[in-house]
Amino acid sequence: MCGIVGYLGARDPKEVILKGLKTLEYRGYDSSGVSILNKGKFKRVRAQGKLSQLCEKLQNEDFDGHLGIGHTRWATHGKPSERNAHPHQLNHVNIVHNGIIENYAEIKEKLIKNGSQFESETDSELVAHLIEREMNFNASLLNATINIIPGLRGAYSVLAVSEKTPDQCVAFKNGPPLLIGLGEDEIIVASDIQAIISYTKKIIYLEDDEIALISPGKVEIYNFKGQRIEKSPVTVNWDASQIEKQGYPHYMLKEIFEQPRAVAQAIDPHIDLSTRKINLSGVGFNVDNFEGPEALDLKNDLLNTNEILQTIERVFIVACGTSYYAGMLGEYLIERAAEVPVEIDLASEFRYRYPVIPKNSLLIVVSQSGETADTLAALRQAKKQGALTLSICNVPRSSIDREAHGHLYMNAGVEIGVASTKAFVSSLALMNILSLSLAKAKGLLNEDLEKKCVDEIVAAPSLMEGVLAYDKFFAQAADDLKKKRGFLYLGRGVSYPIALEGALKLKELAYMHAEGYASGEMKHGPLALIDETMAIIVLCPKDELYEKTISNLEEAKARGGMIISIGTGDDERLKSISDHYLSLPETAWYVNPLLEVIPLQLLAYYVAKSLGNDVDQPRNLAKSVTVE
Ligand code: M6R
Predicted local distance difference test score (pLDDT) of residue 75: 76
Cβ proximity of 44 and 86 under 8 Å: no
Whether ligand 1 lies within 6 angstroms of the CB of 323 is answered as yes
Q: What is the pLDDT of residues 596-624, one digit of tens each?
A: 999 999 999 999 999 999 999 888 777 77
Q: Whose CA is nearest to atom 14 of ligand 1?
A: 419
Cβ atoms within 10 A of the Cβ of 532, count?
10
Is 579 a residue whose pLDDT tops 50?
Answer: yes
Question: Helix H segments across 279-362?
Answer: 305-310, 321-338, 347-350
Give first-to-last CA distance, the chain, whole Å.
Answer: 10
Using the mean position of ligand 1's atoms as its centre, give its distance from the Cα of residue 438 in Å: 26
Residues serving a catalytic function are 2, 623
Q: Which atom of ligand 1 is nearest to the CA of 369?
A: 1
pLDDT, average across residues 333-346? 97
Tell how far CA 471 is from the center of its chain.
25
Mutate to test the pocket of ligand 1, among 372, 399, 409 (most ligand atoms within 8 A of CB): 372
Whether ligand 1 lies within 6 angstroms of the CB of 537 is answered as no
Q: Whose CA is nearest to atom 4 of ligand 1?
A: 367
Rounded to an integer, what distance in angstroms lies between the CA atom of residue 394 and that of residue 381? 22
pLDDT, average across residues 448-461? 94
Q: Which atom of ligand 1 is nearest to the CA of 321?
A: 12
Q: Whose CA is nearest to atom 8 of ligand 1?
A: 321
494: closest CA among 455, 545, 536? 545
Rounded to an integer, what distance in angstroms lies between the CA atom of residue 387 and that of residue 559? 48
Rounded to an integer, what distance in angstroms lies between the CA atom of residue 324 and that of residue 331? 11
- Output b/e per residue, 127-138; b: 16+ Cβ within 10 A: bbbbbbbbbeee
Predicted local distance difference test score (pLDDT) of residue 619: 85
Predicted local distance difference test score (pLDDT) of residue 302: 46
Please state the pTM of the whole predicted model. 0.77
Predicted local distance difference test score (pLDDT) of residue 241: 65
Where residue 393 falls (left for φ over 0; alpha for ψ -120 to 50; beta otherwise) is beta
Question: Helix H segments across 339-421?
Answer: 347-350, 373-384, 399-403
Whether ligand 1 lies within 6 angstroms of the CB of 398 is answered as no
pLDDT, average across residues 485-502? 96
Using the mean position of ligand 1's atoms as its centre, give its distance from the Cα of residue 351 in Å: 17
536: closest CA among 621, 464, 603? 603
Whether ligand 1 lies within 6 angstroms of the CB of 432 is answered as no
Is 454 a residue whose pLDDT tops 90?
Answer: yes
Using the mean position of ligand 1's atoms as its centre, give its distance from the Cα of residue 366 in Å: 10
Predicted local distance difference test score (pLDDT) of residue 531: 85
Whether ligand 1 lies within 6 angstroms of the CB of 93 is answered as no
pLDDT, average across residues 551-577? 89
Q: What is the pLDDT of residues 267-316, one digit of tens each?
A: 999 999 889 999 987 787 876 655 554 445 554 444 578 888 888 999 99
For 203-240, the DSSP string reads EEEPPTTEEEEEETTEEEEEETTS-EE----EE----G
Rounded to an integer, what distance in angstroms lies between the CA atom of residue 55 and that of residue 61? 10
For 148-166, the DSSP string reads HGGG--EEEEEEEEETTST
Q: Which atom of ligand 1 is nearest to the CA of 505?
A: 16
Cβ proximity of 537 and 600 under 8 Å: yes
Q: Whose CA is nearest to atom 12 of ligand 1?
A: 321
Using the mean position of ligand 1's atoms as its centre, give its distance from the Cα of residue 213 in Å: 33
Per DSSP, 497 falls in state: H
Rounded to an integer, what distance in angstroms lies between the CA atom of residue 538 and that of residue 516? 10
Q: How confident is the model at residue 559 (pLDDT cuts 50, 70, 90)?
A: confident
Rounded to an integer, what distance in angstroms lies between the CA atom of residue 451 and that of residue 164? 67
Q: Which atom of ligand 1 is nearest to the CA of 375?
A: 4
What are φ and ψ of residue 465, in 5° steps?
A: -55, -45
205: closest CA among 402, 411, 2, 366? 402
Q: Whose CA is nearest to atom 9 of ligand 1?
A: 321
Is 489 a residue whose pLDDT tops 90?
Answer: yes
424, burial (CB in 10 Å: exposed 0-12, middle 13-18, buried 19+): buried
Looking at every residue in the chain, the average pLDDT score rounds to 91
Rounded to an integer, what distance in angstroms lies between the CA atom of residue 70 and that of residue 21? 7
Whether ligand 1 lies within 6 angstroms of the CB of 321 is answered as yes
Predicted local distance difference test score (pLDDT) of residue 300: 44
Pairing of strands 234-235, 202-205: antiparallel
pLDDT, average across residues 31-39? 97
Predicted local distance difference test score (pLDDT) of residue 289: 57
Q: What is the pLDDT of residues 498-529, one digit of tens each?
A: 999 999 999 999 999 999 999 888 888 888 88
- Lowest mean per-residue pLDDT among 137-151, 460-474, 522-536: 522-536
Predicted local distance difference test score (pLDDT) of residue 297: 52
Cα angle 132-135-136, degrees, rounded to a multiple of 5: 85
pLDDT, average across residues 138-153? 96
Question: What domains lie within the chain, and their CATH numbers?
Answer: 3-247 (3.60.20.10), 259-445 (3.40.50.10490), 470-610 (3.40.50.10490)
Rounded to an integer, what distance in angstroms lies between the CA atom of residue 46 and that of residue 53? 9
Rounded to an integer, what distance in angstroms lies between the CA atom of residue 193 and that of residue 206? 12
Q: What is the pLDDT of residues 401-411, one digit of tens each?
A: 999 999 999 99
Cβ atoms within 10 A of the Cβ of 118, count?
15
Is 220 a residue whose pLDDT tops 60?
Answer: yes
Q: Which atom of ligand 1 is nearest to the CA of 625?
A: 8
Whether ligand 1 lies within 6 angstroms of the CB of 175 is answered as no
Using the mean position of ligand 1's atoms as its centre, give its distance from the Cα of residue 618 in Å: 13
Whether ligand 1 lies within 6 angstroms of the CB of 420 is answered as yes
Predicted local distance difference test score (pLDDT) of residue 358: 92
Mutate to test the pocket of ligand 1, among 250, 323, 376, 615 (most ligand atoms within 8 A of CB): 323
Q: Which has more pLDDT, 544 or 37? A: 37
